[in-house]
A and B are shown apart, each in its own frame.
Chain A
Amino acid sequence: MIPLNWIVGLGAALFAIGAVGVMVRKNPLIMFMAAEMMWNAAALVFVAYARSFHAMSGQVMAFIIIGTAAAEVGIGLAIIVSVYHHRHRLDIDEVSQLKG
């Protein structure tokens, strides 16, 4: 049986990779994928703790995270495609008509 701390450590590593990916990469698709990775890291940690507590609640949360992520991917890809149709290039630095 894999120790709990290793799984949580893996979750933390995935979360960190995802967070760095969102901040460093320029392509919206990759950024979006990295954000989804953060979500899945959280789902992994929920499942790991649920197993160690012998409780169902964390696993319910993991399922809800997966379902919501699917909905978010549907909407997100639609928005990314519609932005691509306008410019025919995907680079977050070029999507900057609105100056912030």
Chain B
Amino acid sequence: MTYALWPEYSVVIGVFVTMIAVMVFNRRSIQAYWVGLATIVVSGIITIADWSSKSLPVALYGHAVTVDAFSLVVNGLVLVAAAGALMIGWNDKRYGPDFPVLVLLALLGMMVLGLANNFVVLFIGIELLSLPLYILAASRGTGESGEAGLKYLLLGAFSSGILLFGLALLYGASGTLVFTHLDPAHMILPLAGAGLALTVVGLVFKLGIVPFHMWIPDVYEGSPLPVTTYMAFGTKVGAAAILMRFLFFGFSLDAGWWGPALGYLAVLTMVVGNLLALAQKDLKRLLAYSGIANAGYLLVGISAHNMFGARALLFYLLPYGLAVLAAFAVIQFVAGERDSLSLDDLTGLAYRSPWLAAFLTVAMLSLAGIPLTGGFVGKFYLIQAALFANQPGLAIGLVVGAMVGLAAYVRPLQRAFSKAAGESSEPIRWPVAGSIVLVVAVVATIGLGVYPAPVVHIVNHSAAFYWLH
């Protein structure tokens, strides 16, 4: 009897209980949120228990899923994302009664992506992640929210179609559905090449890499704020995890097929994403472009294709996600009843609420990669990985991207610390659940920057794919 899959099973049970709670307690129920949070906590505890168990790594269901240290780290990251999103939107009347149920369902999809070792599981994970997010994006019921949901749906279905056709061609070239049984050396070449290209394009679409990024800003801007937070953190973790897993398990010996292409895309994404972030007036759009640029940083870790790249990618996901949680929590507090926040609305924030301005500063500096924040350590490891892989171009691209990004992230801070035009505004409310997320995220961001050793240790252990060296 193995307990390897119990983090996922507990989320499945949690989904059902949450659904029942929504039905029993009269639509708008605080109980559903509590059940959802309890599910996340239980799943997290089981993940930690699995981490120290002797039976891992283990392959189940004819190598369809592999539970190893990598999948457990992905579990941990997406659990943090789900908890953050749930608490930022805690019992908010705007988001409909099904909010906790859908958050848990998408969480399940992200966890499945972490352990996939099979085309079927990959596809189910991607769809289980996407379908609840389509509903969540449109759940606000306003014109903008509906538009975000519609765009996400159409481009999501389109990219899933590309991904599926790529998988079908790979199946035809190799005759197997299992990543680790793919044998690129004995594949029919044009078929395998086309299949790999289409599959990677489909996955990169989900991650938001530059030629395929156009849906991200619109969807992020129109979606309700906690949902945007969830997409910016959780979806990126899931997509990066499955891309790495697929390429490192299936095509690790043929890095020449995909490494250079992903490297060029990474540089393009880092530079273009940060440049476009410079021009934004809406804070959610700015963070959307920042998310695109950060997807480029993540791609550096994959295209470096060595142990350091895998470690750096896994490490970078955490400070990026924490900074996103903190920044969106601040936006949620300042925006109050509104859905979005322009840069002008930030004017004088430092005088209205010094603490919020300070927290926003930490989040922005971490995204920009200033020392003593987690973002700096993450970028440091990524550059190190690129240099160890003998790809100085990647490192240069990362530094240039980060420099441009710094200018983009300083603009909201400059507004926040300038004097307001004089009109007195009402004080900012601090919802309890959101405050917990904000404080924890900020403290953890600084903690990662000052003392990253424990996380580095975990990440080093989990990225130990034995064929990389």
Q: Which residues of A contact B (CB under 8 A)?
A: 8, 11, 15, 18-19, 22, 28, 31-32, 35-36, 38-39, 41-43, 45-46, 48-49, 53, 55, 57-58, 60-61, 64-65, 68, 71-72, 75-76, 78-80, 82-83, 86-87, 92, 95-98, 100
Contact = CB atoms under 8 A, between A and B. Distances in A.
Interface of B: 119-120, 123-124, 127, 131, 134-135, 138, 141, 143-144, 146-151, 153-154, 157-158, 160-162, 164-165, 167-169, 171-172, 175-177, 214-215, 217-218, 221-222
A88 to B, nearest CB: 12
Contacts of A36: 157
B123 A35 contact: no
B172 to A, nearest CB: 4
A55 B177 CA distance: 11
Instruction: Classify the secondary structure of A's interface with B.
Output: helix
Contacts of B165: 11, 15, 38, 41-42, 45
Contact of B158 (A35, A55, A58, A87): A35
Nearest to B178: A57
A98 B158 contact: no
A79 B153 contact: yes
A91 to B, nearest CB: 12
Nearest to B157: A35
A57 B176 contact: yes
A56 to B, nearest CB: 10
A98 B147 contact: yes
Contacts of A55: 175
A82 to B, nearest CB: 6
B131 A82 contact: no
Contact of B169 (A45, A80, A98): A45
B154 A32 contact: yes
Interface centre among B141, B149, B172 (most CB of A within 10 A): B172
Given A32-B153, A35-B154, A61-B123, A75 B161 contact: no
Contacts of B176: 57
A51 B164 CA distance: 18
Nearest to B144: A97
Contact of A65 (B141, B158, B164, B175): B164
A42 B134 contact: no
